Chain A
């Protein structure tokens, strides 16, 4: 029970970063390996809000999201769009974007080390126990989960109900047809990429409430987000959310029952199992 609740709390926070990568990969078709660094930047933002400005780290979500949106839009517009234009095939774009964003991740790590230093960071905010079914859990975990859940729901509703959200899903499903119905695919991709970055940075700000992090932690989160969206399906929000919970539960079970050091190994075993037995994702269909 304890493991289950901890796992769900953790999974809820993973869901946000996974949706961020899903927007970038599913709609904009950029496999963004710098996604984890954007998340860590969000964590640093929250850290600085609390320790530097004495403001609630949860308030940092607003400027972090806006800043990440603007920065990711610029990156798409000036770095990635030339690659999209040049790419003759989906495969070529995938290779080019992986290389470009992999390089970008090093730049971001370097900048964060230069600004904040290389040590580990954590802060104490709402570190009070909160009881669920008689068991105490950190209030910060619960608030982070709640914030993440609200944002996931808002995002999902926006994608399904609004015209712009529907247009982004249209681009994800069939970019050629999207152009034929009057959607400017490059513009929609830039929006999805920027929004994905904003969502990921928000996820980082929330996660930092209960997580110790350092400037080079990003790659681990990129991998986790990757595991979640491959597991859940590249363009399926439901799948990504369910997969986030499964990853959260598996990690907390392994940490509790076996050894905390093995959580990442467990995540990879899960990933390999998915690739072997269900490569199309949880709810995905076999591609033709």
Chain B
């Protein structure tokens, strides 16, 4: 269980995120919707230790405070981030990327099992295991990125706009894979700019505006809400 309480992140004088509170349970999919620049990336990067939170904020993982830890220690607590630029090692092969994914101590024991899990989820990666990742397509790179994160045996998987730059077909496959990962007991928190598909697989959703959480509801209610559709799902566009 990931609990974020009153998180604020400042860039200089500008507050990118202010007083945001979010929880993600062990086997639910939670999506945060927000426009470009609403602070979604900052929020999710801050949870992973890439953007320093203001003192006094609380980020707890299974009750343990992790707000001031560096990224490599947060991974050990069971939180894995797939950043917007995917966070993969372009010059290395698929296999090497997955091996590096299992670098945390918590992941060593289950390395072989997790690798099989990923190859079962994304069979194309097994075929291309010796290929340098930078030579692969965007969709395949996103699979490597998710695979690399799963290799660290996370309890909570964070994804920053995973559907960015993918075709609708690839998006569908991606969200299907995320739903599958959830059934294996991994909680998923993703931020998305404008995606009905993400809400369709989610249990709950948050709305983020100018760094503030302005709404929270079940995914079904958010999908049904006209105002939400207009502002966040692109349905109102002419």
Known: A179-B50, A182-B105. 11 other contacts (CB 8 A): A170-B100, A173-B91, A174-B90, A177-B89, A180-B50, A180-B71, A180-B80, A180-B81, A181-B101, A183-B72, A185-B72
Count of interface residues, chain B, beta-carbon cutoff 8 Å = 30
- B96 within 8 A of partner (CB): yes
Q: Determine the residue in chain B with the shortest Cβ distance to A186.
A: B70
User: Quick check: B99 and A174 within 8 Å, CB to CB?
Assistant: no
Identify which of A163, A170, A184, A185 contacts B89 (C-beta below 8 A): A170
Residues of B within 8 A of A (CB): 48-50, 70-72, 75-76, 80-81, 83, 87-92, 96, 99-101, 103-105, 107, 134, 148-149, 151-152
A285 to chain B, nearest CB (A): 8
The residues in A between 170 and 206 inclusive whose CB is less than 8 angstroms from any CB of B are 170, 173-174, 176-185
Q: How far is the CA of A183 from the CA of B152 in the complex (A)?
A: 11
Q: Determine the residue in chain A with the shortest Cβ distance to B48.
A: A180
Question: What would 27 A/B residue contacts be, using CB atoms closer than 8 Å?
Answer: A163-B99, A166-B99, A169-B89, A169-B91, A173-B90, A173-B92, A174-B87, A174-B88, A176-B83, A177-B83, A178-B100, A179-B50, A179-B71, A179-B72, A180-B72, A180-B80, A181-B100, A181-B101, A181-B148, A182-B72, A182-B103, A182-B105, A182-B107, A182-B152, A183-B72, A183-B100, A285-B134
- Report the number of A-B residue pairs with Cβ-Cβ less than 8 Å: 73
- A227 within 8 A of partner (CB): no
User: Quick check: B91 and A235 within 8 Å, CB to CB?
Assistant: yes
User: Quick check: A184 and B99 within 8 Å, CB to CB?
Assistant: no
Q: Given A173-B89, A180-B83, A181-B75: A167 and B70 within 8 A (CB)?
A: no
Interface string of A116-158 (1 = CB under 8 A from B): 0000000000000000000000000000000000000000000
Q: Given A163-B103, A166-B96: A179 and B90 within 8 A (CB)?
A: no
**Which of chain A's residues have a CB closer than 8 A to the CB of B152?**
181-182
**Secondary structure call for the A interface:** helix
Q: How far is the CA of A169 from the CA of B90 in the complex (A)?
A: 11
Q: How far is the CA of A285 from the CA of B87 in the complex (A)?
A: 19
Q: How far is the CA of A174 from the CA of B100 in the complex (A)?
A: 12
User: Quick check: A182 and B76 within 8 Å, CB to CB?
Assistant: yes
User: Quick check: A181 and B103 within 8 Å, CB to CB?
Assistant: yes
**Which of chain B's residues have a CB closer than 8 A to the CB of A167?**
100, 103
**Which of chain A's residues have a CB closer than 8 A to the CB of B100?**
166-167, 170, 178, 181, 183
